[in-house]
Structure 1
Amino acid sequence: MFKFRKFLKKDKYIQVQEKNIVDNVEKKPSIPDGMWIKCESCGSIIYKEDVERNLNVCINCNYNFRLSARERLKLICDEGTFIEMDANMESKNILGFPGYNEKLEKEEKKSGEKDAVVTGICRIHGYKSVIAVMDSNFMMGSMGAVVGEKITRAIEKATEERLPIIIFTTSGGARMQEGMVSLMQMAKTSSALGRHSDAGLLYVTVLTDPTTGGVTASFAMLGDIILAEPGALIGFAGKRVIQQTINQTLPKEFQTAEFLLQRGFVDKIVKREDLKKTLGQILRMHR
């Protein structure tokens, strides 16, 4: 009887231990969201703080992660010098495109911006300049009426005050929800840049990933000096569309910043850590 009771106690003990083992297996390790990020180029899982300390460049393969407009301004402008222009300008559903109003609201909440470009006046290494920075977080940086208007006003401000203008481009192209109105921005921005050039003033473009479509076909490629970030996708039509049209296989590096540099479409590829210094040198030489 004694042995039987002892066996029962042992069996109960074993059941408790087994339950603890199951509970421990089912419990997942507690890892805060956003602590790790995956590099889109090499596939490495990287500690987010390490990437941020490296100016949002992969510590393994030097892939340039995309920056928001505000992150870019913080990186380029002298501290406390940026004065924003047309901050409250926002897009309207002028063509009554189905679902566009909801899309705009969603993109504003996601990006924290009214539209896909931020413009203003700043100093870079002490040199005053007008600056416009496109933001891929808002509808992939697509160009609609507001983007075109804000960039045109920035160019006209630079012409009026006889200042250089720097535009950071990133875009999926013209915004289809605005139809012909979006395509008109190509001519409008280009005309403003023509007047700025006629006044003998400097225009610098910095092409970032991706710069495509109507933006590439207008103000992105009109700079007196054209810089690009390493590995940036730059082109007009997509690679697949071109291959199907010409029935030829294109080079692997086609439409990259490096490909365009070799063929004279880009003047210099600049690492993110050197970008502010390079722009400062350009502004100093052309002051």
Structure 2
Amino acid sequence: MNWITNYVRPRINSIFSRRDVPENLWTKCDECGTMLFHRELKDNLNVCTNCGHHMAISPRDRFAALFDGGIFSEVAVPEPVADPLHFRDQKKYPERLKAAQKATGEKEAMLVAEGEIDRTPIVAAAQDFSFMAGSMGMYVGNAIIAAAERAVTLKRPLVLFSAAGGARMQEGILSLMQMPRTTVAVQMVKEAGLPYIVVLTHPTTGGVTASYAMLGDVQIAEPNALICFAGPRVIEQTIREKLPEGFQRAEYLLDHGMLDRVTPRKDIKADLVTILRMLLQQPPAVKGELPAPEAAVTTPAPASAAKADGPA
């Protein structure tokens, strides 16, 4: 037996050929502690395959699963004034923005897009809780106004996915001003006779709940989502009483008439299609596999091109 050939050489080869294993291959469920493989978790829309716990999902991943073929077009959002108050706590506000942009790869806390779900054209907006807790600042206000204006222009329903810790403190009173601004934008959609559907995800709190998140024609929530203005801990400390079990969670609000339904993430698309087509007085969507739509059309065709051939 050759000790160098049979032991030393394989040992050296194993050391130099060892591959570094990425650290993000597994995710631990916050609810049940199960370790979930990243591909399996992504295929299940960031919902635990063991206990059904709904984890956070980015707006882009949500839209990729929502729109037909994962195809959507982003809607441009006007840029607000950067750091209007020159706010600084432990860091300067621009530094916090840059850190959040680097961590998420997104410009801000809300993404606005247009596309089709089961051949039903919509405009959608979604908040990203991983971007400074999805806090509502001037950009988020501009995004909702841009989404509402686009929906009215294209005569499409507006669907909004909320996830926020409330108003953005770095913008002070300017962030609170987004509450009436977004309320007016929602009213503009309703006056145009278009549906406005809100899907509340975990968590939706503060000024977001007190404005556009609770103004939907139909209110849908994901399971066990925290939906409130002031959190349960603050309320308990104020009234000095123990709150009921499940207080301010989606199922509790459904039982008390604050929501229309609680729907698992994988079923939200089907629910939205059914509700939207009913509100638009359209026939039910065709079930089964649909081909992916071609490039999204963002402007109506000219009247001359749309004219059909008349009878001879």
Normalising by structure 1, report the TM-score.
0.87
For residues 79 and 110 of structure 2, what CA distance do their matches in structure 1 show? Answer: 10
Between Structure 1 and Structure 2, how many residues are aligned? 264
- CA RMSD in angstroms comes to 2.2
Shift in Å at residue 168 of structure 1?
0.3
Report what 1:53 is aligned to. Answer: 43
Report what 2:248 is aligned to. Answer: 255
2:155 pairs with 1:165: no
Amino acid at match of 2:227: I
Report what 2:117 is aligned to. Answer: 124
For residues 151 and 229 of structure 1, what CA distance do their matches in structure 2 show? Answer: 21
Amino acid at match of 2:141: G
Whichever structure has more helix as a proportion of its residues is 1
Normalising by structure 2, report the TM-score.
0.80
For residues 210 and 179 of structure 1, what CA distance do their matches in structure 2 show? Answer: 21
Query: Helix, strand or coil: the match of 1:132?
Result: strand
Report what 1:176 is aligned to. Answer: 169
Given candidates 121, 126, 130, the residue that maps to 1:137 is: 130
Report what 2:54 is aligned to. Answer: 64
Report what 1:241 is aligned to. Answer: 234
Shift in Å at residue 163 of structure 1?
1.7
Report if aligned partners of 2:77, 2:146 keep a CA contact under 8 Å in 1: no
Report what 1:104 is aligned to. Answer: 97
Query: Helix, strand or coil: the match of 2:68?
Result: coil
- Deviations 1:28-69 (CA, angstroms, capped at 9, x unpaired): x96431121111111222222222222211111100110001
2:39 pairs with 1:37: no
Report what 1:74 is aligned to. Answer: 64
- Deviations 1:239-285 (CA, angstroms, capped at 9, x unpaired): 11111112211112011111111011110111111111111111221
Report if aligned partners of 2:93, 2:170 keep a CA contact under 8 Å in 1: yes
For residues 78 and 151 of structure 1, what CA distance do their matches in structure 2 show? Answer: 22
Report what 1:198 is aligned to. Answer: 191
For residues 87 and 79 of structure 1, what CA distance do their matches in structure 2 show? Answer: 24
Change (3 A) 1:167 1:55: same
Report what 1:94 is aligned to. Answer: 84
Report what 1:188 is aligned to. Answer: 181
Change (3 A) 1:174 1:67: same
Report what 2:273 is aligned to. Answer: 280
Unaligned stretches of 5+ in structure 1?
A: 1-28
